[in-house]
A and B are shown apart, each in its own frame.
Chain A
Amino acid sequence: MIAGMDRSAAAAPERISAPRLFLGFLKIGLSGFGGVMPFARRMLVEKQRWLSELEFLDVLSLSQFLPGPNIVNVSIIVGRRFSGVAGAAAACAGLLLMPLAIVLALATVYAQFSQVEAVRGACSGVSASASGLIAATALKLARPLKGSAWQVAVCVAAFVGIALLRVPLLWMLAALCPVSIALAWWKRA
């Protein structure tokens, strides 16, 4: 298929050392606020050229398909491809170490000032705004579903179950995923 052709055409390196993977993902981890996936694409495809555009999409679709934080899964797949276990560990550590240290330091400082009126106010403003950002992300992702009635129904069912009825996620997934997969199979082109 297209992805196969693309792979032979790409000038991607065969192997990338664990330290280089660590540094590459370190930059990705620090490049954005509230999510770094767009920066991961820019870094991996455009700057470092470790992956072609199609390879990146392939990695992305697997990372979204499997459970776990998507960008962490990307680091594991890319690290594994270029340097096995050491590469996966290095890429994942590079991605998470600095942001983890920074956010925990920030939290520790925040705890000292959380009673200050201005800090509390700023925090309320940011959490209100961030809730709107998440809702917007979801609505943007929902746009491609519009044409398909069963996909809209599954989406609404997931929302109602989790947000309004507060059904535990495990039950929700156990009930909804088989139905959705059966519908997708039945409706497939």
Chain B
Amino acid sequence: MIPPLLFEIGLQFFVLSLLSIGGANAVLPEIQRRVVETQHWMSDADFAQLFALSQAAPGPNVLIVSLVGWKIAGVLGGVVAMLAMSGPSSVLTYAVAHAWERWRDAPWRLAIQVALAPVTVGLILASGYVLTRAADHTWSTYAITGVTLLLSLTTRLHPLWMLGVAAGLGMLGIV
């Protein structure tokens, strides 16, 4: 018997897996909408903290999904969320990969690719907005978000430096 909560987590991420055009970063607002606003599994602040934790561990950015599952139902919840998020899309990718070679230069394929690019960018922009709303409540946190944004756009500074300095400022109680 699968516990109902694990089943529910699996179902949510199964659907998200097939909706996640543009990858994990593009689907963050939808994850937040489902787990915070619709299911009430956690608060906005919890979601922001999980996102911070996912940045502090090595690995692909889809790891946020396992932390969301963990928050709801412990380690097993994390594993179920990850499997459900990666499984359906992987099966689809496996099935389509071969045919792709034939369609490489088909005009409709190129049109879809050009069409999906701005959708993906809009979704990732929305992720930045939704996460900022969840994470920032004081002028100092807004300042950290703004400075990080500026530095990433204007310098080649490694992101880990920015995260590290932000963590240090937070630890000192400045944030």
Residues of A at the B interface (CB closer than 8 Å) are: 1, 3, 29-36, 58, 61-73, 76-77, 80-81, 85, 88, 92, 95-96, 98-100, 102-104, 106-108, 110, 114, 117-142, 144-145, 151-152, 154-159, 162-164, 166, 168-170, 173, 176-177, 180-181, 183-185, 188
B3 part of interface (Cβ distance < 8 Å): no
Interface flag for B62 (CB, 8 Å): yes
Bound: A95/B86 CA distance, A? 11
B118 touches A151 (CB 8 A): yes
Whole-angstrom distance between the alpha carbons of A98 and B66 in the complex? 13
Q: Are B166 and A29 in contact (CB under 8 A)?
A: no
Q: Give every chain B residue within 8 A of A119 (Cβ-Cβ).
A: 171
Which A residues lie within 8 Å of B116 (CB)?
64-65, 177, 180
- Chain B residue nearest to A75 (CB atoms) is B90
Q: Are A126 and B163 in contact (CB under 8 A)?
A: yes
| Closest-CB distance, A53 to chain B (whole angstroms) | 16
Complex alpha-carbon distance, A154 and B119, angstroms: 6
The smallest beta-carbon distance between A162 and chain B, in angstroms, is 4
Using a CB–CB cutoff of 8 Å, the interface residues on chain B facing chain A are 15, 17-25, 27-30, 33, 37, 48-63, 66-67, 70-71, 75, 78-79, 82, 85-86, 88-90, 92-94, 96-97, 100, 104-105, 107-108, 110-132, 134-136, 141-142, 144-149, 152-153, 159-160, 162-163, 165-175
Cβ of A2 to closest chain B Cβ, rounded Å: 10
Known contacts A35-B61, A159-B126: A106-B162 contact under CB 8 Å = no
With A128-B141, A185-B111 known as contacts, the answer to whether A77 contacts B24 (CB < 8 A) is no
The CA of A34 and the CA of B53, in the complex, are separated in Å by: 10
> Chain B's nearest CB lies how many Å from the CB of A147?
12
In the bound complex, how far is the Cα of B82 from the Cα of A132, in angstroms? 25
Q: How far is the CA of A117 from the CA of B166 in the complex (A)?
A: 15
Asked if B94 and A76 sit within 8 Å, CB to CB, the answer is yes
Question: What is the distance, in angstroms, from A72's C-beta to the closest C-beta of chain B?
Answer: 5
Question: Which residues on the B side are within 8 Å of A68 (C-beta)?
Answer: 17-18, 20, 23, 85-86, 88-90, 92-93
CA–CA, A183 to B104, complex, Å? 20
Please judge, given known A-B contacts A65-B112, A106-B56, A130-B131, whether A125 and B121 are in contact too, CB under 8 Å. Answer: no
Task: For the complex formed, measure the closest distance between the CB of A29 and the CB atoms of chain B, giving whole angstroms.
Answer: 5
Instruction: List 14 A-B residue pairs with CB atoms under 8 Å apart, sorted by A's residue number.
Output: A29-B58, A31-B58, A33-B159, A71-B23, A72-B90, A102-B59, A103-B57, A103-B59, A123-B167, A128-B148, A130-B135, A133-B162, A158-B119, A180-B119
Which residues of B lie under 8 Å from residue A118 when comparing CB positions?
171, 173
CB distance from B1 to the nearest CB of A (A): 23
**Residue in A70, A77, A121, A188 whose beta carbon sits within 8 Å of that of B175 in the complex:** A121
Question: Considering only CB atoms, which chain B residue lies closest to A68 in the complex?
Answer: B89
Is B58 a contact of A136 with CB atoms below 8 Å? no
List of A residues within 8 angstroms of B112 by Cβ:
65, 181, 184
| B58, A155: Cβ atoms closer than 8 Å | no
Out of A125, A168, A176, which one reaches B167, CB within 8 Å? Answer: A125
Give bound CA distance, A117 to B136, whole Å: 17
